[in-house]
Structure formats: structure tokens, C-alpha cells
Amino acid sequence: MTSIADRPDAATRTAMLRDVASGLSRPQKELPPKYFYDRRGSELFDEITRLPEYYLTRTERALLDCWSGPLMAALTPAALVELGAGSADKTRLLLDAMVYAGSGELYVPIDVSAEFLEDAAAHLREEYPTLGIEPLVGDIAEPLALGDDLPAPAVIAFLGSTIGNFDPAGARRLLRNVARAMRAGDRFLLGADLRKDPRVIEAAYNDQQGITAEFNLNVLRVLNRELGANFDLDAFEHRAFYDRTLHRIEMHLVSADDLRVQIPGVGTVPFAGGESIRTEISCKYDRESLSGALESASLRMERWITDETESYALIVAARDDAEGAA
């Protein structure tokens, strides 16, 4: 997964400056998680997905291994739209199954990084000569501009539990955007991490090897490089904990001491000893909270697929005015 280029354009830098200025001026300082993912951050995330503690990716992949075939055979989509064009191997499971179902015409990956998208598209065009590959540059948090000529029916996939990065209001907004882009025959395929023993969840974000800590600190490296900020990475510590009331992981960078950070274009940002920047939330769902979120966006859960430990779920949803079931 890559979201920001190592050399972002002027518009991206302006947006970053705005996000950083507003995020760091709040009582609880905050940074948007999308700034983790420069080249190094994407590599670190890749490493995270292979960690023994990080069960999410491997559980989702196992579910897709089992279910891509049956789901695609039942839905026979002409198009696959993927939000946040994620890890290539999971995409391939879906594309293989769509081609095998005999209905596939088009794959539309959506991501904010044009560079990353074009790279991935070039590979996929070689591997899937019978499919059109038409990447779309855009922020998945914004309304989807899929166009009137999207072949029907389409499956819109949002995998990797990235939905967890949105708070309930943000998730509802995103789901509404998805619902608005769907036609009656289209389906939404969502991958979501589930509520479970907090110790298991906390371990996934506090790995023994310290890769998640490196990943977390990388956002400061990005700000130093892109904005000329002077964050001292040694002055901040990784902390991740599960909030049992809000059902979410919060990731923070904690400053041990009082310090002041200079960010050109933003100004001086003071930190008191023990103060933190919240860098990510990762919300965990159960069947009820997910169907509630879907319903509030005019979507109806049609299928609920989990692994045997009910650790992770794949959900198929339709517009609530659609007929039939997958």
C-alpha cells in the first residue's frame, strides 16, 4: 500500500500543511494516518502484515482464499472497483475469481497516489490481458466518481480493515458515498477486523520486533522531509492501546519531556512532558455494529463470513432497495 509519493506535488504539500496545522493545534494533537505511507512507511506496513502478532492480513487472505471463488461465481460481476487499491496479492485472488466466473471486464483501483496506481496497473495489464484496467486517482473519503459507463454489475471492494481508520461518523459518510455510487445490482465487499480479547488486539499493534513503533514514528520522518519540520524521533515513543468503550485501538506518539518543534508554515508546536499525538485509530466491529453502520448508510448486509475464531469478517452488502440475495 502506498498513499503519498516520496516527492509529493505542491497541492499535496499544501493539503499536508493544512492537515498538520489543524491536527497539531487540537487539545489532543492528531495526525491523519495517510501520512504514514511514503515509500518507507509502505514497506514497514508490508512488514507488519507478515508479523506473527498481526493476525489481520493473514486472516483476511485466508477468507479470500476460500470465498473469492464462490462469491464471484454467485455475483458474476462485470467490474471490480477497489477502494484504496491495497495489497496486490489479495487483489489477484479477487481478479482470478472474477475472470474464472467468466463475467469480468474491468478492474478499477482507486488510490490517492497516481504513481503507485500506474505502476500496479502496468503489471496487471500484462497479467490480465482480457481485463480493462482503469485506475482512478482519488481520496476514498470523498464521494466516488465512478462514471455512468461502469459495466454492471460491479463489486466495490474495501478490504484490509481500512474502514477501522474512520470514526463512526466518518465510516457512515464513507459507506453513504459507496451506497450512492452503487446501482441496484451492485454489491459492496468489506473486510473488517472484529472485537475480541483486547490482549490479542493490543499485541497486534505492539509487536515484539518494534516494527509498528518504527511505522508509527515514520510519520514524523515524513513531516521532517516534506515540511522541513524538526521532530527529534528519539524524543517520541510509540504507544498503542485498546479503548474498550470505543472499541478501538489508538496509536500515539508520546513525548517524554517538554519540547518545542518547529514546522515551517505552521509555527512552533509545544509539547508538555507526557503529551502525545494520536496518529491512528483502528475501530473494531461486531456483526451488530457493522450491520448498524451499513443500515445507516442505506445498505443491507447480505452475507457475513468469518474465520472459525471469529477474528475477522468479510461482509457482502447490497443497497437496501435491492432485490434478492447473493
**Burial of 244 (C-beta count, 10 Å sphere; 0-12/13-18/19+):** exposed
- Closer to ligand AVJ at the Cβ: 31 or 322? 31
Q: Buried b vs exposed e over 56-72: b needs ≥16 C-beta within 10 Å?
A: bbebbbebbeebbbebb
Q: How far is the CB of 291 from ligand AVJ (least distance, A)?
A: 20
Whether the CB-CB separation of 85 and 94 falls below 8 Å is answered with no
Q: How far is the CB of 251 from ligand AVJ (least distance, A)?
A: 6
The interface region with ligand AVJ, picked from 6-14, 94-102, 111-119, 159-167 by CB under 6 A, is: 159-167
**Burial of 94 (C-beta count, 10 Å sphere; 0-12/13-18/19+):** buried
CA nearest 315: which of 323, 306, 324, 175? 306
312 belongs to the binding site for ligand AVJ (CB under 6 A):
no
131 belongs to the binding site for ligand AVJ (CB under 6 A):
no
Q: How far is the CB of 279 from ligand AVJ (least distance, A)?
A: 9
161 belongs to the binding site for ligand AVJ (CB under 6 A):
yes
CA gap 45, 280 in Å, rounded: 13
**Burial of 157 (C-beta count, 10 Å sphere; 0-12/13-18/19+):** buried
164 belongs to the binding site for ligand AVJ (CB under 6 A):
yes
CA gap 99, 85 in Å, rounded: 18
Torsion region of 183: left, alpha or beta (phi above 0 gives left; psi -120 to 50 gives alpha): beta
162 belongs to the binding site for ligand AVJ (CB under 6 A):
yes
Among 68, 212, 255, 276, the residue binding ligand AVJ under the rule CB under 6 A is: 212
x/- mask, ligand AVJ, residues 191-210, rule CB under 6 A, reads: --------------x-----
Give me the residue whose beta carbon is nearest to ligand AVJ.
282
Q: How far is the CB of 163 from ligand AVJ (least distance, A)?
A: 8
The interface region with ligand AVJ, picked from 8-16, 102-110, 157-165, 259-267 by CB under 6 A, is: 157-165
Among 20, 44, 56, 97, the residue binding ligand AVJ under the rule CB under 6 A is: 56
The interface region with ligand AVJ, picked from 88-96, 103-111, 155-163, 217-225 by CB under 6 A, is: 155-163
Query: Quick check: helix, strand or coil at residue 31?
Result: coil
CA gap 147, 138 in Å, rounded: 13
Q: What is the DSSP letter of 237?
A: E
- 116: Cα separation from own chain's centroid: 15
Between the two ends of the chain, the Cα-to-Cα distance in Å is 29
160 belongs to the binding site for ligand AVJ (CB under 6 A):
yes
Q: How far is the CB of 212 from ligand AVJ (least distance, A)?
A: 5
Whether the CB-CB separation of 125 and 98 falls below 8 Å is answered with no
Q: How many residues of this chain interact with ligand AVJ, rule: CB under 6 A?
A: 12
CA gap 101, 198 in Å, rounded: 39
User: Rule CB under 6 A: which of 268-287 touch ligand AVJ?
Assistant: 280, 282
x/- mask, ligand AVJ, residues 213-232, rule CB under 6 A, reads: --x-----------------
- Closer to ligand AVJ at the Cβ: 56 or 194? 56
The interface region with ligand AVJ, picked from 123-131, 156-164, 167-175, 260-268 by CB under 6 A, is: 156-164
311 belongs to the binding site for ligand AVJ (CB under 6 A):
no
- Return residues touching ligand AVJ (CB under 6 A): 48, 56, 160-162, 164-165, 205, 212, 215, 280, 282
